[in-house]
């Protein structure tokens, strides 16, 4: 399933502050089939995100050295997966700032690990499409770049025929919609 169904092909990077034990979040995501990596405060998050290309990053606001907007923007420059930001307490201003800076979801750090995993599942059910249609298209663990005509699954390049590429491209452009045979034939 392209839109992020099940399986161990999903990956997550969990970055929590030193005061928070990552174990429960890691365990909840692993129980949902994620392959999970962890990083601590001070890690070069944009580089890690670009190197690992995880489907999801769970980032603690306290692990950003106090500048979550800059951290979110830096991560977004090199990575386009899903980002859940954990904030201390119920400060609505922190959540608005995080969402405006590029987080896909923002919850208090006291949120249960099971809820964080459920939010991750919900995000992965929705394919991520590039703005304007010219950039890469994402659906779960599949990335298609129409400019370079490349496809990756979990960061590994996949060779497709021209017809296979065009069909996949059409399906990723129109997520959750039926594509008529006539339109497929026109495209390929």
Residues contacting residue 81 through CB under 8 Å, at least 6 positions apart: 49, 53, 54, 55, 56, 57, 128, 138
Q: How confident is the model at residue 5 (pLDDT cuts 50, 70, 90)?
A: very low
Q: Which of 26-35, 86-95, 175-184 has the lowest mean pLDDT?
A: 86-95
Please give the CATH number for the structural domain made up of 131-187.
1.10.10.10
User: Domain spanning 11-125: which superfamily?
Assistant: Response regulator (3.40.50.2300)
Indicate whether this model's pTM tops 0.75: no
Q: Contact 44/65 with Cβ under 8 angstroms?
A: no
Place of tokens 């129109």: 174
pLDDT-based confidence at residue 7 (cuts at 50, 70, 90): very low
> Which residue ranges make up each domain of the chain?
11-125, 131-187
d(CA 124, CA 184): 26
Give the burial class of 106: count Cβ atoms within 10 A of its Cβ; 0-12 exposed, 13-18 middle, 19 or more buried.
buried
Q: Is the pLDDT of residue 15 over 80?
A: yes
Give yes or no for a contact between 9 and 52, defined as CB atoms under 8 angstroms apart: no
């Amino acid at each position: 399933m392209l839109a992020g169904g099940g399986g161990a092909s999903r990956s997550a990077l969990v970055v929590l502050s030193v005061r928070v034990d990552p174990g429960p979040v890691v365990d909840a995501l692993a129980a949902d089939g994620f392959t999970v990596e962890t990083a601590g405060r001070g890690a070069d998050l944009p580089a890690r995100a670009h190197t690992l290309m995880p489907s999801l990053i769970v980032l603690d606001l306290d692990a950003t050295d106090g500048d979550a907007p800059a951290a979110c923007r830096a991560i977004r420059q090199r990575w386009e997966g899903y980002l859940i930001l954990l904030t201390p307490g119920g400060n609505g201003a922190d959540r608005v700032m995080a969402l405006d800076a590029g987080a896909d979801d923002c919850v208090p750090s006291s949120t249960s690990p099971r809820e964080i995993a459920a939010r991750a599942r919900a995000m992965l059910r929705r394919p991520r499409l590039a703005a304007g249609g010219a950039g890469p298209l994402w659906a779960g663990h599949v990335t298609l770049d129409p400019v370079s005509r490349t496809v990756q699954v979990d960061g590994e390049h996949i060779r497709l025929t021209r017809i296979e590429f065009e069909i996949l491209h059409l399906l990723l452009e129109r997520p959750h919609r039926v594509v008529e045979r006539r339109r497929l034939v026109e495209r390929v």
